[in-house]
Amino acid sequence: MKLKVKKNCNAHESLQDTLSFFGVNCHRPYYISSGNPIFEYPSNAFRIDFYAICICTAGDINIEVDNQEYHISKNKILISAPTTIIRFSQVSSDFRMKLLFFDKAFLLKHIVNPFFIDQLGLFKNSTFTLLNSQDRQIDKLLKLIDYLKEVTLRTTSFTADIIRTIIFNLLLEIADELALADQIASDGTQETNNLFYKFTDLVQRHSNQYREVQYYADQLFISNKYLINIVKKASGKTPHEIIDESLLKEAYVLLGNPEKTISQISYEIGFNSISAFGRFFKKYSTLSPSEYRKRQNM
56, 146, 151, 286 from 35: Cα distances, Å:
9, 10, 17, 38
Q: Running DSSP on this structure, what letter comes out for residue 76? A: E
Residue (of 178, 167, 181) closest to 120 by Cα position: 178
Strand partners, 48: 84
Strands (DSSP E) contained in the chain are 2-3, 30-32, 46-48, 51-58, 60-65, 68-73, 76-80, 84-92, 96-102, 128-132
pLDDT given for residue 23 in this prediction? 64
Q: Are 285 and 295 in contact (CB under 8 A)?
A: no
Q: Are 45 and 8 in contact (CB under 8 A)?
A: no
Integer Cα distance of 227 and 186 in angstroms: 19
pLDDT given for residue 58 in this prediction? 92
Per-residue pLDDT of the chain (298 residues; tens, 9 = 90+): 344 444 443 444 455 666 666 666 667 888 898 888 777 777 778 888 889 999 999 999 999 998 889 999 999 999 999 888 888 888 998 999 999 999 889 999 888 888 888 888 888 777 889 998 888 889 999 999 999 999 999 999 999 999 999 999 999 999 988 887 565 444 456 667 788 889 998 998 899 899 999 999 999 989 999 999 989 888 888 999 999 999 998 898 888 888 899 999 999 998 989 999 999 999 888 889 998 888 776 6
- DSSP for 248-280, please give it: HHHHHHHHT-TTS-HHHHHHHTT-SSHHHHHHH
pLDDT given for residue 7 in this prediction? 47
Integer Cα distance of 102 and 33 in angstroms: 12
Give the type of residue at 156.
T
User: What are the helix and strand counts (H, E) for the chain?
Assistant: 11, 10
pLDDT given for residue 11 in this prediction? 44
Q: Which domains does the chain have, with CATH numbers?
A: 2-181 (2.60.120.280), 187-296 (1.10.10.60)
pTM: 0.68
Integer Cα distance of 239 and 228 in angstroms: 6
pLDDT given for residue 173 in this prediction? 93
Q: Are 213 and 240 in contact (CB under 8 A)?
A: yes
Integer Cα distance of 42 and 2 in angstroms: 15
Residue (of 191, 49, 72) closest to 127 by Cα position: 49
